[in-house]
Structures are given as C-alpha cells and as structure tokens.
Amino acid sequence: MSETESRIYESVFSIDRLLRKIVLFAYGYYLLFLFKDNSIEFYIHERYQALTLVSSLILIFAALTYSSYVEKRGHEHRKKAPAVRRLICTMLPALLLAPVICGFITPPKALGFSEKRMSTRFSFSGGAAAADPEALKQRGSGDITLAFPPGAVEDYEERTYTPLNVMELNYLFSAGGGAYIGDRVAVQGFVYRDDTTQYDVFTLVRYMIPCCVVHAYPVTVKVKSPETESLETDQWVVVYGAVAEAENAAAETAGDDTGCIVSAERIELKDQPQNPYINRWNTSKPFRF
Amino acid sequence: MDQFSEFRLIFIGIVVETTPFLVLSALLSFIVESFVPETFFPRLFGPKKARGIILAALAGFLFPLCECCIVPIARRLIQNGVPLTVAVVFMMAAPSLNPIVIASTSAAFVTAPEVIYWRFAAAFVLVLSTGFLFAFFDRRGGLSSQPLPAAGGGHSHHHDQHSGHGHSLHEKMLRGLDEAVTDFFRVLGYILAAAVLTAAVQVYLPAGVIDVFAGSDLLGAPAMMAFAAITSTCSDADAFIAAAMRQFGDIPKLGFLLLGPVIDIKLVLLHYALLPRRAATLLLVSFPVMVVAALIVISFFIT
C-alpha cells in the first residue's frame, strides 16, 4: 500500500460504537431515574449521591458526544473477522445493559430480616464516647415525625418523646445508657423475634448502609413490651417508650451487651418508611456517624 | 424478602455503587490523555525506582481513589511511561491509605484505636514491601517487558487516527473521550461479572459458614481474608463491615482490612485484564502471603 493511500480516511458507521452510546446513555439515564424515583436511597449512602448524580450527567454527556462513526483507512475494510465472532463482539455491549433493564423492570425492595445478616449486627459496644447527659434532650436525626414536636406537652398522656433512630439509641446505650434511664424515646424499625430472648422482649432492627446495600448490616435495640407476642418478624413499628435497665440482662438483651432496653409504653404498627435504611450523614452531636 | 429478590437488589446495588467510580476513573483517563503531557508522570516519579516507589506510596495518602477506579488509572500511568513497579505501588497505596479510608476507619474503630494505627502502619509497610519485591523481580525487565493486555474491540483504529503529537486541543479531547469510553467498557464487563459472583455468594452461601472460623485467630484471619476477597468490599467503607464482625478478634479484622483494598474477586479479574499477566500473578501470590506475615508480627503486639 502506498503512503498516499494509507492517509485516506473515511467515516464508517460502527454498530459497536452505536451500542456503546446506547449503553452509556442507559446507565446515565438509569442513575438519574433513581434520583427522580427517590429509590437511590435503597442502594447507596448519602455521601455517594452527589458523585452518582454528577456521574449520570457525565455519562449522558459522553453518550451524546461519542461518535457512532469511526474513521478508517481504506485497507482496513478488508480485515473482517468471521461473522459469528463479529456478532458476539457486537452484542457484548448489549449484555452490559442487563443491570439497567433489571433495575427498570423490578422496583427495589428493602432488605428484611435475614438470619445471616443478623450475625453481623453492629454495636458501639465498649463505649463509643463518654455519655452526654444532654443527648436525649437534643433532637437527633430520628427519621420519624411525631404528631407533636419534641419538648411540647401534647401527648394524650402528657408525655414527650425524643425521636431517635436505632443507630443513635445504640450509640447512647453503649456510651453509658445508665445516664438515660427513664428518658423517653420514640424509635422506628422492623421487628425481629429472637428465640434467645424472653417472651416479652423483641429486637428492633434497622439496616445501616455504610456505602452500598451489599454491605448493609443490622443495628438493633431490645424492646420490652407485653404486646410482643402479637408482633410478627419484619413488621415495621414505632416504639414509644422509656430507657430502662435490663432486669435480667442475659434473658432480655441476649446478643447485646449494653444492659439497656426500651420499655415500650405504646407501639404503633407502620408501613415500611420511604427510606427503610440508615444511610444519611448524621452530624448532630453526639451522633457523628 | 426471597433470595432471588435479594440477589437482584445486591447485584444492582453493586453496579449503582461502582458506576460513579468507573466514571471518575474514565474522567481521569480523559484528563490525562487530553491535557497532561506524556512526560509528566515519568518526570514526577523520577528515573530511580526506589524514589518512585516511596513517592507513589506517599501519594496514596493524598488521592481519595478507591480500588474500583485505580486499576485503569495504573494502566494509564504505565502507558504514559511510569515504571510498572511504581504504578503498582500507587495502585495499592491509594485505596489502602487515602483520606476517606483513614476517616472511615477512625470512625468505625473509635473504641479500638490500635486497629486504626496497625491498619495504616501495616498497609504502608506492605505497599512498600510489595513495591521492592516487584522491583527485585523486574530488575532485568522480567515483569515490565511483558506487554499490557490488548484493549477492547474498536479501539485500535482510533489510535491510528490520532496517533502522534501536535494535534489541536479539540482533537486531543476527541482522542481522550475515545480512550475514556474504552477504559469504561474495558472495566464494566469485569465489574458486572464480579457483581453477579459477589451477590450469589452473599445470598446463597449458607448462614454460619463463616462463624465456624470465628473462634480463633489462626482460622479467623484466613476466613476474614477470604471474606474480603469474596465480598469485594469498597475500601472506603470496609472498616464498618469489619467492625460489625463482632465474632472475630482484631487480628482477623486487620487481615480483612489489609487484603481487601488490593486483592478481591473483581480486582483480580481487573488485574489480569489490564496489567501484564506476570505482574498480576505475582501480586495475587505474594500479597496474601505478606499480609499473613504482617498479621503474625502484629499478633505479638495486639493481644
């Protein structure tokens, strides 16, 4: 081939590059869709959401900018692989669409009770920090909205509850739960009926997502209530109660070593909340996690 | 929740978590290809391997890059003239020592500061040791003489089209975009394969298998290292997983934290896809052995 001939380029449509464009666009659009659909929280921690949003825009931009045409020299048209191999190579990018298609056609479900995951439940055991007696007087990031604001006296029994999430409560118990005996809390989670605890105690569970759902681990507190037997595992509830010392630690808090429980005053059955996980930054003192 | 739904959730979860880091990696690839002169990195790390190894290990403390995106970046560095040994050291150092990993480990092990200190001290020593081991095996070019594995289809033509220097910024950016997209697709397939494997293990491995090993450091450390390899945990958050494994002692947890950022299913697939085969094999064989050696030493200091 002469020098002049090798310099002659022509634009050739490439199905492979078109498929790449489609895959890039599909991934970008799917990530955007997760935000629009509010289902991004089913998958990742809040700290990755900004990066995910930016990535989705970059992917869409790249898809629009990436050319479906490739410039080839004239002689390159003659180098053709066998048809079957070409077909497989061409269709491979299409296989990469599998998670996107899967994600679109099946709405995400929240993780529920799993014996395997329960074996890795998290605790700040050992005392995460010195107990702060004012902690329960501050509003935590408890993700339930009470019918009355904390501090107000509007409850039908003239009681006020501080909304905390399971992680915050676990933190307080581990940091010295004795400082909070008698303080009232409202906490939300799903029920886990554990055979190792006594009949009137159940475990209240929320999953913490430190990065993505694959690494979700349960955070738990024990709740004592005469209504326990009517509650099914996986039922979402809001427990209104007071922090109490476990009377019989071995029987009441098996698996936890904080020595504290929530003694329930009432339990409301709830539907699964929109965000079933603990996956947001919590920067309010003393709940830094 | 039935097992298949959980499998699907975890599979998509891994993809959603990983994609932004792949994009970040591709973006860096685009920037390097479009705007950074080819002589920049070789000049930065210098001609002497020892200096390059130490600089690359220290650079790990500065760049908040996780292991998902670092392998293609290491490949890009090699293509831009950085010695293989130095690129491998940076590839290990960034996910092991970066500021996010330090912050998350400090938060997760607030009650066990010895785990925090040992994690980073041991990781730094391991990164340096691996670097010098690579330098030893590569002293006659035994590793770096092997070519990098070929790029994916549809790529080489573009190199022809834009090869050479002195192109306009527009042309450089077009070439950078092509390289970045090629990098993205080169890694995505392996990530999907690893996601399927990881989700399957997480969902279908019988409960209690790991508990069998939790009783002793002797069995616990290899079990936790295997767990790190199987679950392909992101190093930015692996400390929370380790902290949650309360059945295990500090030594097995350190095994998990030291191995995970360098060796796991998805990383091994990526190493073989993007790095010279001999280098990938040396890393796969030597690093777990060095982690075990480090754990034995640490066990004299941690009771």
Q: What ipTM does this complex have?
A: 0.80
pLDDT at A284 (0 to 100): 62
Is B159 a residue whose pLDDT tops 50?
no
Can you give the pTM of this predicted structure? 0.76
Is B140 a residue whose pLDDT tops 60?
yes
Q: Count the alpha carbons within 13 Å of A35 in the hemisphere toward its beta carbon.
A: 16
Query: Is B177 within 8 Å of A214 when comparing Cβ atoms?
Result: no
pLDDT at B158 (0 to 100): 41
**More confident position, A269 or A153:** A269
Query: Which pair of tokens denotes residue B136?
Result: 């030893």
Residue in A48, A58, A213 nearest the CB of B23: A58
Residue with tokens 């002659």: A8
Q: Measure the CA–CA gap between A127 and A105, rounded to whole angstroms.
A: 45
Is B7 a residue whose pLDDT tops 60?
yes
Q: Would you call A186 helix, strand, or coil by DSSP?
A: strand
Chain A residues touching B6 at Cβ < 8 A: 111, 114
Query: Is B234 within 8 Å of A102 when comparing Cβ atoms?
Result: no
Name the band, by pLDDT with cuts 50, 70 and 90, for residue A129. very low
Q: Which residues of A41-58 are buried (b: 16+ CB within 10 A; e: fewer)?
A: bbbbbebbbeebbebbeb
Query: Crossing angle for the helix pair A49-65 and B169-204, nearest 10 degrees?
Result: 130
Q: What is the mean pLDDT of residues A74-92?
A: 65
In eight-state DSSP terms, residue A227 is T
Considering chain B, what is the average pLDDT of its residues?
A: 83
What is the C-alpha radius of gyration for chain A, rounded to an integer number of angstroms? 27
pLDDT at B57 (0 to 100): 93
Is A289 a residue whose pLDDT tops 70?
no
Q: Write the pLDDT tens digit of every residue in A35-47.
A: 998 889 888 888 8
Which residues 6+ apart lie within 8 Å of B2 measured at CB? Answer: none
pLDDT at A255 (0 to 100): 52
**More confident position, B117 or B157:** B117
Smallest CA–CA distance, residue B286 to chain A, in Å, is: 27
Query: Is A210 within 8 Å of B112 when comparing Cβ atoms?
Result: no
Is B288 a residue whose pLDDT tops 90?
yes
**More confident position, B169 or B256:** B256
In eight-state DSSP terms, residue A248 is S
Which amino acid makes up residue A95? L
Sign of CA dihedral B1, A210, B266, B219: negative
Give which of B23, B295, B206, B67 is closest to A116, Cα–Cα. Answer: B206
**More confident position, B172 or A157:** B172
CA dihedral B210, B213, B215, B221 (to 10 degrees): -100
Q: Measure the CA–CA gap between B195 and A250, rounded to whole angstroms.
A: 40
Is A126 a residue whose pLDDT tops 50?
no
Q: What is the mean pLDDT of residues A209-222?
A: 82
pLDDT at B153 (0 to 100): 42
Give which of B236, B243, B217, B231 is closest to B267, Cα–Cα. Answer: B231
The C-alpha angle with vertex A156 and arms to A150 and A161, in degrees rounded to 5, equals 25
Residue in B5, B13, B104 nearest the CB of A43: B13
The answer to which of A115-129, B49-63, B130-144, B265-279 has the lowest mean pLDDT is A115-129
**More confident position, A70 or A73:** A70
Q: Measure the CA–CA gap between B17 and B21, rounded to whole angstroms.
A: 8
pLDDT at A75 (0 to 100): 55
Which amino acid makes up residue B192? L
**More confident position, B167 or B28:** B28
Q: What is the mean pLDDT of residues B134-156?
A: 75
Question: Phi-psi category of A207—alpha, beta or left, where left has phi over 0 and alpha has psi -120 to 50?
Answer: beta
Smallest CA–CA distance, residue B221 to chain A, in Å, is: 16
Give which of B39, B140, B41, B22 is closest to B86, Cα–Cα. Answer: B41
Residue in A48, A73, A214 nearest the CB of B202: A214
**More confident position, B159 or B214:** B214
Q: Write the pLDDT tens digit of every residue in A130-173.
A: 455 566 666 555 666 665 555 544 555 556 788 888 888 887 88
Query: Which pair of tokens denotes residue A271?
Result: 């539907």
Name the band, by pLDDT with cuts 50, 70 and 90, for residue B18. confident
Q: Write the pLDDT tens digit of every residue in B224-234.
A: 898 888 877 77
Smallest CA–CA distance, residue A120 to chain B, in Å, is: 5
Nearest residue in chain B measured CA to CA from A210: B237
Is B202 a residue whose pLDDT tops 50?
yes
Query: Is A52 within 8 Å of B20 when comparing Cβ atoms?
Result: yes
Count of CB atoms situated within 10 Å of the CB of A147: 8
What is the DSSP code string of B138-183? TTTSTTTTSPPPPPPTT-HHHHHHH-SS---HHHHHHHHHHHHHHH
Nearest residue in chain B measured CA to CA from A42: B13
Smallest CA–CA distance, residue B139 to chain A, in Å, is: 38
Residue in A98, A211, A288 nearest the CB of B237: A211
CA dihedral B76, B82, B83, B88 (to 10 degrees): -50
Query: Is B231 within 8 Å of A72 when comparing Cβ atoms?
Result: no
Which amino acid makes up residue A232? E
pLDDT at A134 (0 to 100): 63
Chain B residues touching A288 at Cβ < 8 A: 107
Q: Are A12 and A69 in contact (CB under 8 A)?
A: yes
pLDDT at B126 (0 to 100): 97
Query: Which pair of tokens denotes residue A32?
Result: 């955007």
For chain A, positions 199-238, list CB contacts with chain B under 8 A: 208, 210-215, 217
What is the C-alpha radius of gyration for chain B, rounded to an integer number of angstroms? 20
Q: Are B66 and B21 in contact (CB under 8 A)?
A: yes
Query: Which pair of tokens denotes residue A24?
Result: 């890039």
Q: What are phi and psi of A14, to 5 degrees?
A: -120, 115
The answer to which of A109-113, A157-161, B7-11, B176-180 has the lowest mean pLDDT is A157-161
Query: In this complex, how many residue pairs, one in chain A and one in chain B, have their CB atoms less than 8 Å apart?
Result: 163
In eight-state DSSP terms, residue A143 is -
Is A66 a residue whose pLDDT tops 80?
yes
Q: Are B202 and B231 in contact (CB under 8 A)?
A: yes
Is A34 a residue whose pLDDT tops 90?
yes
What is the DSSP code string of chain B? --HHHHHHHHHHHHHHHHHHHHHHHHHHHHHHHHHS-TTHHHHHH-S-HHHHHHHHHHHTTT----HHHHHHHHHHHHHTT--HHHHHHHHHHHHHH-HHHHHHHHHHTTT-HHHHHHHHHHHHHHHHHHHHHHHHHTTTSTTTTSPPPPPPTT-HHHHHHH-SS---HHHHHHHHHHHHHHHHHHHHHHHHHHHHHHHHHHHHSPTTTTGGGTT-HHHHHHHHHHHHHHHT--TTTHHHHHHH-TTS-HHHHHHHHHHTTT-SHHHHHHHHHHS-HHHHHHHHHHHHHHHHHHHHHHHTT--
- Segment holding A84, helix H or strand E: helix A83-95
Query: Is A43 within 8 Å of B17 when comparing Cβ atoms?
Result: yes
Query: Which pair of tokens denotes residue A99?
Result: 């998670």
For chain A, positions 53-112, list CB contacts with chain B under 8 A: 54-55, 58-59, 62, 65-66, 70-73, 76, 89, 92-93, 96, 98-99, 102-103, 106, 108-112
Which residues 6+ apart lie within 8 Å of B249 measured at CB? Answer: B217, B220
Q: Measure the CA–CA gap between A213 and B199, rounded to whole angstroms.
A: 11
Q: Are B35 and B76 in contact (CB under 8 A)?
A: no
Q: Write the pLDDT tens digit of every residue in B48-90.
A: 788 899 999 998 888 877 787 788 888 888 888 889 999 999 9
Q: Measure the CA–CA gap between B11 and B192, rounded to whole angstroms.
A: 8
Q: Measure the CA–CA gap between B9 and B216, rounded to whole angstroms.
A: 33
